């Protein structure tokens, strides 16, 4: 199974935030709002489209292994930024792969978006897989939102933009935003190659479940999957003129 795409929030930090004055009161409200959204299993989980529709785009008989991806032509320049205007996201992208145990690596900063080089690259005719943290715990113990904290809010038709290292801009439109149980094996199928040009964004959501297992001592109850299709350049230009 994949390692969780976020760092653990220490609930005791929020419990310890008391009446420390007006300045800290505002900070405490921010902490509570973050935890309230993510500490209610099933609350605020997206239902835009269906998981079946997302999985139906995958090529049968393949998996996320780079050796199974069909010939997609020249590799485009690596992605450097992801923009999601409606969510006010403009984040740096980094290239990551698998760790020594065969798990997808995770960014070591809350503001970074990982593109996994074991899948297709943005700009190739298949499925480019991206991941980011939903939240983060600072050195002081304070929980803060991660780059994909608001990912669950995306709706069908929302636009995303990926900028490549050579300045090329790729525009995408959301076609699905769903949640699935953390242990659901369909998460692997969602990373499989597709016959059309799409991106799949993955983060966590739901309730934090302490298990004492894994690097973080537990995991969230759900994963959030966003699927977006590439808009042809002709469509981009037409909408820009309109």
4 in any annotated domain? no
2 in any annotated domain? no
Predicted pLDDT of residue 183: 87
Enclosing domain of residue 202: 11-241
Q: Give residue 47's Cα distance to chain centre.
A: 16
Predicted pLDDT of residue 228: 98
90 in any annotated domain? yes
6 in any annotated domain? no
1 in any annotated domain? no
Stated pTM of the model: 0.75
Q: 119-172 pLDDT, tens per residue?
A: 999 999 999 999 999 999 888 878 899 999 999 999 999 999 999 999 999 999
Work out whether strand 79-84 and strand 169-181 pair parallel, antiparallel, or are unpaired: unpaired
- Residue pair 106/124 in contact (Cβ under 8 Å)? The answer is no
Q: What is the dihedral of CA 146, 92, 63, 208, to 10 degrees?
A: -10
Q: Give residue 91's Cα distance to chain centre.
A: 12
175 in any annotated domain? yes
Q: What is the dihedral of CA 70, 163, 2, 211, to 10 degrees?
A: -170
Instruction: Tally the domains of the chain.
Output: 1
Higher pLDDT, 153 or 71: 153
Q: 162-217 pLDDT, tens per residue?
A: 999 999 999 999 999 999 998 899 988 999 999 899 999 999 998 888 776 666 66
Measured between its terminal Cα atoms, the distance across the chain in Å is 45
Q: What percent of the chain has pLDDT over 70?
A: 71
137 in any annotated domain? yes
Query: Where are any strands of DSSP class E within 2-146?
Result: 47-48, 79-84, 89-96, 113-116, 127-131, 135-137, 143-145
Q: What's the CATH number where 59 sits?
A: 2.40.260.10
| Token pair belonging to 209 | 């479940």
5 in any annotated domain? no
């Amino acid at each position: 199974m994949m390692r969780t795409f976020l760092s653990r929030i220490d609930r005791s930090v929020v419990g310890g935030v008391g009446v420390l004055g007006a300045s800290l009161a505002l900070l405490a409200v921010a902490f509570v709002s973050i935890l309230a959204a993510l500490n209610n299993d099933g609350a605020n989980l997206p239902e835009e489209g269906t998981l079946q529709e997302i999985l139906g785009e995958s090529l049968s008989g393949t998996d996320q292994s780079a050796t199974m991806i069909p010939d997609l032509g020249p590799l485009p320049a690596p992605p450097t930024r992801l923009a999601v205007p409606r969510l006010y996201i403009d984040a740096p992208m980094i290239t990551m792969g698998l760790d020594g145990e065969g798990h997808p690596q995770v960014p070591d900063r809350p503001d970074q978006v990982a593109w996994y080089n074991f899948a297709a690259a943005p700009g190739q005719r298949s499925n480019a897989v991206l991941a980011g943290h939903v939240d983060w715990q600072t050195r002081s113990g304070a929980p803060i939102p991660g780059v994909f904290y608001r990912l669950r809010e995306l709706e069908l038709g929302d636009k995303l933009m990926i900028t490549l290292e050579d300045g090329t801009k790729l525009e995408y439109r959301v076609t699905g935003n769903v949640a699935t149980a953390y242990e659901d094996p369909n998460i692997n199928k969602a990373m499989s190659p597709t016959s059309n040009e799409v991106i799949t964004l993955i983060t966590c959501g739901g309730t934090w479940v302490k298990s004492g297992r894994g690097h973080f001592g537990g995991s969230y109850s759900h994963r959030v999957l966003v699927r977006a299709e590439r808009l042809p350049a002709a469509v981009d230009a037409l909408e820009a003129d309109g």
